[in-house]
A and B are shown apart, each in its own frame.
Chain A
């Protein structure tokens, strides 16, 4: 688990942190009114959902690469 080779593989999971940044900052991806989700325009629904997806991805990165390393 702790050997350098698997660690260098696991390091790649950190790239996931870029995904929510791109999803939030590339506006043409979500600048639409339709379709609406529960009455909420897509523009707002997309950003609301990405708050949670971003948190989820950060959690994945934490669990895979960082958990228990700094105790």
Chain B
């Protein structure tokens, strides 16, 4: 069908994929426990040591979409796409400083989600519900993007078969991958992605090391790779006199990403599964190994540029269908022998399964704990709660599959952009709430609403195309990641209003008890 199809690649790919999936199904037997309890199914009984937490978080954060989309951004935007690196430099000190405290409070009270934590801190059901809904809404497009990443891989392999569902083409390989992921997640909960994360990392590191050694060697060294990038795209353009310029946008993208990262339900789930504060701290020390891998991965975008894959007739179809997202699959196809193409693509595809599974577990937790249990069935048993969570994890994944089938990919990307802005707006309630007990839940709710509203408006003003919105103060321009400027407004409103409401003790007592 496709010019890039190669039977050796496909066989290697399928063999690895099958091996890893069967591991996922065996995971229930590992650290055996009563999987009808939600904290066992969803958090592995909070018994994951530093090594396992490290693997799980790595598998969580560097997703299939990361593998495909970030190099694609470098490929098209140049150095401006490198903001993922300062972002990962900043995120680990934040984890080290803040999240041991989050873990402690959550494990003392048996909280499974950020909304549980907020409900406990502020005794305000509406605020907790909004935190839960924000988390679910932000996770859904993220999960859909994993499937988009998988699609690009299948296209790179030349696996192409689709069935017609209600007038839309549903990719069969994607359906199979979805069923496998749904199966082992339902069965083993978070144990499944944790076991798979081990194999995934071996494959990912093998692929990356091979890629950053072999490909530049073929292209004439790193100097030659960077020389292929237009000089004005290598660094960020200088700021005009009446603006903070693209460098400020770059810094806010890094900061906003870092602040939002561990507010995402799936990242928090990974952290809460840790066995203790010490495991989290040691993790933060060793996480940068992933950050370095991520940086090398980003440079693949430049390598694709230097190799000139876009002009090769063999890849014309792929670029026509996926745009720049096809840069990395094309680069691998061009540079690696067929059997290693199979290994590399398996690494990325399995890279979708781990976060995909955890995202669906995290969204299911939020729904079950903070919507179903809080509003619909307050007194349901542990077993009943777990059954609902398992079912919802299936629904969430089916929803993601439906989404990529029925909607164009651009709308998934746009929703992901909004999700990133929204998730940052939970920061005051979830993290500041831990440190500043005087914050008022009503004020936090108002801050959240202002942040979400302003963030959405700024994204809409760019046509949901750009995460950076330029603020104008008199004639001075401040290009800033919308999540960060919305968060600034959110914090300002939350704090000011908390102070105002503190003046009237009657009202505050009413809200807090």
Contact = CB atoms under 8 A, between A and B. Distances in A.
Interface of A: 14, 17-18, 20-21, 23-28, 31-33, 36, 38-41, 43-44, 47-48, 50-52, 54-55, 58-59, 61-62, 66, 69-71
Contacts, number: 111
Contact of B96 (A17, A24, A44): A17
A36 B226 CA distance: 10
Given A24-B89, A40-B222, A43-B79, A61 B96 contact: yes
B49 interface: no
Contacts of B90: 20-21, 24-25
B82 A70 contact: no
Given A24-B90, A61-B96, A51 B292 contact: yes
Interface in B284-331: 284-289, 291-292, 295, 299
B213 to A, nearest CB: 14
Interface of A is mostly: helix
B247 A27 contact: yes
Contacts of A71: 278
Interface stretch (B52-60, B229-237, B347-355, B490-498): B229-237
A50 B285 contact: no
Interface residues of B, number: 43
Closest 7 CB pairs of A and B: A39-B223, A24-B86, A55-B288, A27-B247, A17-B93, A24-B89, A39-B222
28 contacts: A14-B97, A17-B97, A23-B89, A24-B85, A24-B86, A25-B86, A27-B248, A27-B251, A33-B235, A36-B226, A38-B222, A39-B221, A39-B225, A40-B226, A41-B226, A41-B234, A41-B235, A43-B234, A43-B235, A48-B85, A52-B292, A55-B92, A55-B285, A58-B284, A58-B285, A58-B288, A62-B96, A70-B281
A32 B287 CA distance: 27
Nearest to A54: B89
A54 B92 contact: yes
Interface in B353-381: none
Contacts of B289: 55
B11 to A, nearest CB: 36
B421 to A, nearest CB: 19
A70 B278 contact: yes
Given A39-B222, A52-B292, A54-B288, A47 B89 contact: yes
Contact of B288 (A44, A52, A70): A52
B393 interface: no
Given A21-B93, A54-B288, A62-B285, A31 B85 contact: no
B323 to A, nearest CB: 24
Nearest to B282: A62
Contacts of A43: 79, 82, 234-236
From B79, B93, B96, B276, residue with most partner A Cβ within 10 Å: B93
A48 B85 CA distance: 8
A26 B291 contact: no
Nearest to B299: A44
Given A55-B285, A58-B288, A59-B285, 16 more contacts: A17-B96, A21-B90, A25-B254, A25-B255, A27-B248, A33-B234, A33-B235, A40-B223, A44-B79, A44-B82, A44-B299, A51-B89, A51-B292, A54-B92, A55-B287, A70-B278
Interface of B: 79, 82, 85-86, 88-90, 92-93, 96-97, 100, 221-226, 231, 234-236, 247-248, 250-251, 254-255, 276-278, 281-282, 284-289, 291-292, 295, 299
Given A47-B82, A54-B288, A26 B251 contact: yes
A23 to B, nearest CB: 8
Contacts of B96: 17, 58, 61-62
From A21, A33, A69, residue with most partner B Cβ within 10 Å: A21
A8 B300 CA distance: 46
A10 B183 CA distance: 50
B89 A50 contact: yes
A39 B276 CA distance: 43
Contact of B254 (A24, A28, A36, A66): A24
Contacts of B223: 36, 39-40
Contact of A70 (B93, B276, B299): B276
B288 A33 contact: no
Nearest to B95: A58
Nearest to B227: A39
Contacts of B277: 70
A40 B222 CA distance: 6
A42 B224 CA distance: 15
A54 B248 CA distance: 21
B92 A28 contact: no
Contacts of A24: 85-86, 89-90, 254
Contacts of A55: 92, 285-289
